Amino acid sequence: MRIIDSGLKDVDADSSVTIIMPSNLYGCTLAKNVFVGPFVEIQKKVTIGARTKIQSHSFICELVEIGEDCFIGHGVMFINDVFSSGGPSGGDSSKWKKTSIGNKVSIGSNATMMPVNVCDNVVIGAGSVVTKDITEPGVYAGNPARKLRDL
């Protein structure tokens, strides 16, 4: 049996950052006043902007950028492997896709974020599945997520 301890490894974080353990963060960058709740995993090559809050049980995979003043609800899942060859990439990160989340974006609990770009000033409803870029501010919800109204 092989046991690998989780925790914090190679995290570039301002002293004002709060991380509630247990969490698993490695190779990521957290700006000023970021909050990370318990049972969160943030992988390498992830950048989180200032004053963003990430609630418990969320998973933020490699190649995700999240802007400033964002809220990531409980259990939000980010995806970078779209099974472009019919199955998992087998760790071949050259097949992974990037996700970019703008500033002042709120993502509701249990949302799933495929590799997309989301502009500033967006609210994504709980349980939504975001499969396409969001280029206009507003409220989005559903599977697939679609615009419900302006903010």
Tens of pLDDT along 101-144?
999 999 999 999 999 999 999 999 999 999 999 999 999 999 99
Q: Which residue, among 108, 136, 145, has the nearest Cα to 123 in the 3D structure?
A: 108
Domain that holds residue 37: 8-81+97-149
Q: Which residues contact 4 (CB under 8 A, 6 or more apart)?
A: none
pLDDT digits (tens, 9 = 90+) for 75-94: 999 999 888 888 898 878 88
pLDDT digits (tens, 9 = 90+) for 28-62: 999 999 999 999 999 999 999 999 999 999 999 99
pLDDT at position 3 is 80
Place of tokens 């943030």: 42
Q: Give the chain's domain count.
A: 1
Give a yes or no: residue 91 inside a domain: no
Tokens of 107: 């993502």
10 Å Cβ neighbour count for 2?
3
Give a yes or no: residue 24 inside a domain: yes
The dihedral through the CA atoms of 56, 59, 65, 71 has a sign that is negative
